[in-house]
Amino acid sequence: MYEYYPLIVVGAIVGVFSLILLIAYLTVRDKKQTLGFERQIGDREIMGRLLHYARPYLPQFLLVGAVMLFTIAYDVVSPFIIGRIEELVAGEFRMPQIYRAMTVYVSILLVSMVCAYIQAVVLQKTGQRIISVMREDLFVKIESLSHEQLNEIPVGKLVTRVTNDTNAISMMFTNLLVNFARNIFAIVGVFAAMLVLSYELTLMILCFVPFIVLFTVIFRKFSRRAYRKVKDCTTDINTYLSENLSGIKITQIFNREEAKMQEFRERSVALGRAKQEQILVFGIFRPLVYMLYVSSILCLLYLGGRGYLENQAFMGQVITSGILVSFYMYISKFYNPIQNLAEQFNWLQSAFASAEKVFTIMDLEPAIQDAPDAVELTTMRGEIEFRDVWFSYVEGEWVLKGVSFHVMPKETVAFVGSTGSGKTTILSLICRNYEFQKGEILIDGIDIRKIKTASLRRHFGQMLQDVFLFSGTIRSNIVLRAEGISDAEVREACRYVNADYFIDKLEKGLDEEVRERGNNFSAGQRQLLSFARTIVHKPTVMILDEATANIDTETELLIQNSLEKMQNIGTMLMVAHRLSTIQNADRIIVLSHGKIMEQGTHQELLKLQGKYYRLYHLQYRREEMAREKTAPSDSSKCLTAKQQNLCAD
């Protein structure tokens, strides 16, 4: 009995480690916490949805599977050949037989190498095509979200989903899935070969399989939690960088670099800790599998070597040197795939964590969707009517309260009021950027909820205070890649809105480079390009939201001249704090706290001496005071009538 003591010691050590891990598995709870709008999706559902993207490329995967069998054949056959060579060397040393065995071994090795190359090339091409389709689907989904939904999701989080997370999923298609299957088939093939060679020694190896299964189940729980933490922290730090790099000038102006650095350091430390936890989980699992490998080798050498040296049978079978060598190699090829599975399982959890976040975005239903009976609006006259419209961004906090008005085709209507009165909200509702809660909004007598959103917005041209220009050229920013717009039409639109006065001075004209957000152009120049972009698409209704704010006097005169021309194109809705820019409007609607207080022409509202009258005179006095402050003050200038008389004398 004493001869089995070493085996009992090995079993006791493995049992102790298993008990410790089992206690950890049962005591540590997986917290179902999510970040932002994230939610939990099961591995089975994730795998099913990922395989949906892979289904069109089934022939390529079948080819890879067929090629993979040749690489597995090398792992299964090579130990048997080496064992045979060992027996030939130890027994009858016949070179022809050794040469034949070596030739077979080298041939299988070369075929395996060629097959591995083909497998890698096909997988890379197929995987990149799959990820390209997934990225496009994700981008299309993001484009379909409403303004309200986009405001709730940080830009950095969306960038992470489209880039980092899809890259992690790419690893699964180009490497993980096939190699995962390869390792499983290799384990099965090696196990079958061991059974054929010596079922007695194979039964001894099987004693360690339950521990492998136990360690894998425990690792699965901890690795997924660790990878979810890494993904959440990565998203958090990307979101922070996206926001703060965009506003870094404000940080510098207010000398807040140290405070922002501290905030970034906290997020960086959190990401580092999450990475350390991930490394710790993997660092425990792989050595445990290696411990099982070493334990099985010790048992093999002890039982097999003892039987070979003492010429004793093990469970009725005589152990030869060839069997001992072959089994030594088979154990290595049995545990290597298991260790590879551990690493691949690590990456697979990363891919699942990324896929969970990508599918969470894809599962978002757009807040604004076309009704089943929505119609295509091919033409539009430009008649707009609000009927008792109520709207709130936050439930219970009404921004618009029973707003009603009627705009006739080609009428110019301006909205004025204090900040937060609902002016911009009205313009957003007309374009159906948000869904109102009560009332009706009619376009040419049709409820906008009965019109397809794309066809509705096709007839609108929006010019906002904060003009966004894309990286590219002036021409590409005006046409926005729309087909059928000629250079002549682009130049005519630029001339119409007076944008040609600065474009013609540029070295490359319409092909002048536009840097990120158009930061190589002034605010006024960007606004004129926005006007040209709107005109060239020939809208029926033009919307101007503070389009003349924050620009110099010279550019304002150009814009004012452009606005007078544009009033002849179609219906125009304007929001402006500078009341001087809307005096020629056909009608002015005055808003306060989400309600219409008064409406009429400029002169009619002045006669009423109501809210518009007070706003106008308050702004007029401010402009007068500003002119007085900027007027010359030295003794050679005459500021008052009395001073003028003195100067005249």
Exposure letters 346-374 (e unless 16+ CB within 10 A, then b): bbbbbbbbbbbbbbbbbebeeebebeeeb
Phi, psi of 597 (to 5 degrees): -90, -40
The token pair that represents 141 in the structure block = 């989904």
The reported pLDDT for the residue numbered 524 is 81
Give residue-wise pLDDT tens across range 98-139. Answer: 778 788 888 888 888 898 889 889 988 898 899 999 999 999
Tell me which DSSP letter residue 600 carries.
E
Give residue-wise pLDDT tens across range 199-227. Answer: 778 888 888 878 877 887 787 778 777 87
**Cα distance between residue 300 and residue 330, in whole Å:** 11
How many Å separate Cα 327 from the centre of its chain? 49
Domain 47-362 = CATH 1.10.10.10: no
The reported pLDDT for the residue numbered 645 is 42
Phi, psi of 402 (to 5 degrees): 65, 45
Sign of CA dihedral 462, 468, 470, 472: positive
Q: Are 545 and 462 in contact (CB under 8 A)?
A: yes
The reported pLDDT for the residue numbered 298 is 80
The reported pLDDT for the residue numbered 36 is 39
Tell me which DSSP letter residue 369 carries.
-
The reported pLDDT for the residue numbered 250 is 83
CATH code assigned to 377-458+572-632: 3.40.50.300
Give residue-wise pLDDT tens across range 76-95. Answer: 888 888 887 777 776 666 77
The reported pLDDT for the residue numbered 648 is 38
Cα angle 310-316-317, degrees, rounded to a multiple of 5: 70
Alpha helices in 145-165, H assignment, sequence order: 147-152, 155-160
Angle in degrees, 0-180, between the axes of helices 487-496 and 523-536, rounded to the nearest 10? 130
Cα angle 152-155-160, degrees, rounded to a multiple of 5: 120
Q: What is the 3-state secondary structure (H, E, C) of 122-145?
A: HHHHHHHHHHHHHHHHHHHHHHHC
Q: Are 518 and 467 in contact (CB under 8 A)?
A: yes
The reported pLDDT for the residue numbered 398 is 92
Angle in degrees, 0-180, between the axes of helices 523-536 and 553-566, rounded to the nearest 10? 10
**Cα distance between residue 112 and residue 48, in whole Å:** 31
The reported pLDDT for the residue numbered 647 is 35
The token pair that represents 562 in the structure block = 């452009």
User: Taking the domains of the chain in order of start, what are their residue ranges?
Assistant: 47-362, 377-458+572-632
Model confidence, pTM: 0.68
Q: Are 239 and 156 in contact (CB under 8 A)?
A: yes
Of 285, 171, 272, whose CA–CA distance to 223 is shortest? 285
The token pair that represents 239 in the structure block = 């979101």
Burial (CB count <10 Å: 0-12, 13-18, 19+), residue 257:
exposed
Q: Are 544 and 478 in contact (CB under 8 A)?
A: no
Q: Are 479 and 485 in contact (CB under 8 A)?
A: yes
**Cα distance between residue 62 and residue 75, in whole Å:** 20
Alpha helices in 247-320, H assignment, sequence order: 248-253, 257-309
Of 223, 130, 124, whose CA–CA distance to 178 is shortest? 124
pLDDT less than 70: residues of the chain: 1-8, 10, 28-40, 90-93, 304-318, 342, 346, 547-556, 558-559, 621-649
Q: Do domains 47-362 and 377-458+572-632 have the same CATH topology?
A: no
Q: What is the 3-state secondary structure (H, E, C) of 458-498?
A: HCEEEEECCCCCCCEEHHHHHHCCCCCCCHHHHHHHHHHCC
Of 246, 243, 224, 223, whose CA–CA distance to 235 is shortest? 243
